[in-house]
Amino acid sequence: MADVTLTTLRGLKQNGEKIVMLTCYDATFAAAACAAGVEVLLIGDSLGNVLQGHDSTLPVSVADMAYHTACVKRGNQGALILTDLPFMSYATLEQALDSSAALMRTGAHMVKLEGGAWLGETVRRLAENGIPACVHLGLTPQSVNVFGGYKVQGRDEARAREMREAALALEQAGAAMLLLECVPSALAAEISRSVRIPVIGIGAGVDTDGQVLVLHDMLGLNPRPAKFVRNFMTGQASIQDALSAYTQAVKNAQFPAPEHGFSA
The whole-angstrom separation of Cα 51 and Cα 240 is 20
List the interface residues with ligand KIV, window 198-227 (CB under 6 A).
202, 212, 214
Contacts of 101 by beta carbon, 8 Å cutoff, 6+ apart: 129, 131
Alpha helix stretches (DSSP H) within 113-232:
120-128, 144-147, 157-173, 185-194, 215-218
Report angle CA 8, 175, 264 to the nearest 5 degrees. Answer: 95
Alpha helix stretches (DSSP H) within the chain:
6-14, 27-35, 47-50, 62-75, 93-106, 120-128, 144-147, 157-173, 185-194, 215-218, 239-251
List the interface residues with ligand KIV, window 161-200 (CB under 6 A).
179, 181
Residues in the chain, overall count: 264
User: With binding defined as CB under 6 A, does residue 83 bind ligand KIV?
Assistant: no
Q: Please report, as a single letter, which amino acid is at residue 82.
A: L
The response to whether 162 counts as a known ligand-binding position is no
Residue 181 annotated among the catalytic residues of the structure: yes
Q: Which is nearer to ligand KIV, 94 or 177 (CB)?
A: 177
Q: How far is the CB of 39 from ligand KIV (least distance, A)?
A: 15
Q: How far apart are the first and last CA of the chain?
A: 38
Instruction: Report the SS3 class of residue 83.
Output: strand
The response to whether 238 counts as a known ligand-binding position is no
The response to whether 84 counts as a known ligand-binding position is yes
The response to whether 64 counts as a known ligand-binding position is no
Q: Which is nearer to ligand KIV, 184 or 203 (CB)?
A: 203
Count of CA atoms in the C-beta half-sphere (13 A) of 87? 15
Q: Which is nearer to ligand KIV, 202 or 250 (CB)?
A: 202
The whole-angstrom separation of Cα 85 and Cα 90 is 7
User: With binding defined as CB under 6 A, does residue 23 bind ligand KIV?
Assistant: yes
The response to whether 114 counts as a known ligand-binding position is yes
Q: Write down the catalytic residue from 162, 171, 181, 190.
A: 181
User: With binding defined as CB under 6 A, does residue 84 bind ligand KIV?
Assistant: yes
Q: Which is nearer to ligand KIV, 21 or 242 (CB)?
A: 21
Q: Which is nearer to ligand KIV, 94 or 142 (CB)?
A: 142
| Active-site residue set | 181
Q: Using CB under 6 A as the criterion, which residues of the chain lie in contact with ligand KIV when the complex forms?
A: 23, 42, 44-46, 84, 136, 179, 181, 202, 212, 214
List binding-site positions: 45-46, 84, 112, 114
Q: Residues forming the annotated binding site for Mg(2+)?
A: 45, 84, 114
- Which residues make up each annotated binding site for 3-methyl-2-oxobutanoate? 45-46, 84, 112
